[in-house]
Amino acid sequence: MFKVGHIDNPAGIAARNLLSAYRLLSYEPSVTLPDTSLKSSFVVNKPKSKGKSSQAMLHVFPNPADEYVVIAYKLDKEGELSIVSQDGRIVHSQIINPGQNQLVIRVNYLTSGIYIARMVEGKKVHSTKFTVK
């Protein structure tokens, strides 16, 4: 028995690539998460009203990024996460749920520059900048 796509198994890698080519298998290479001591971008938005004391969090690391970013967040209800380029184009967008707390997003296809991670939760918008090398 062999592991399909295991690094030491050329037959498994070929099988994985063939199944992926025919769209019978969805494959995304694993990403090793970074050390938490890396430089990051962090924003905490506290409501100005004295009502419900909810706190939204949006944390992006590593910053600057090479291949991927980890976006940690805290939501009270479903929201949308977008990555916006300097010229205002949305280069990535997806729905995020309060049960999750972080996403790993590949950025190796993006050109070098400054991007904005924007999280929309109902009428609230939270954003923070990060850099792609």
The pLDDT of residue 51: 45
Residue 120, Cβ density class (10 Å: 0-12 exposed, 13-18 middle, ≥19 buried): middle
Q: What is the mean pLDDT of residues 9-27?
A: 70
Q: Specify the pLDDT at position 93.
A: 93
**Average pLDDT value for the chain:** 76
| pTM summary value | 0.61
pLDDT at residue 100, rounded to an integer: 79
- Tell me whether residue 21 is exposed, middle or buried, using C-beta atoms within 10 angstroms of its C-beta: 0 to 12, 13 to 18, 19 or more: exposed
Residue holding tokens 């050329």?
A: 10
Can you give the pLDDT at residue 28?
Answer: 60
Provide the edge-to-edge strand list for the sheet that holds 41-45. Answer: 41-45, 56-61, 68-74, 102-106
CB 67 within 8 A of CB 31: yes
CA proximity to 102, closest of 28, 27, 31: 31
Q: What is the pLDDT of residue 35?
A: 54
The yes-or-no verdict on residue 42 having pLDDT over 60 is: no
Give percent above pLDDT 70 in the chain. Answer: 65
Strand partners, 126: 119
Going by pLDDT thresholds of 50, 70 and 90, the confidence category of residue 9 is low
In this predicted structure, what is the pLDDT of residue 56? 52
Please write the tens of the pLDDT for every residue from 48-104. 444 444 445 888 999 899 899 999 988 888 999 999 999 999 999 999 988 778 889
pLDDT at residue 74 in the model: 87
All domains of the chain, ordered by start, with CATH?
A: 1-30 (no CATH), 32-132 (2.60.40.3080)
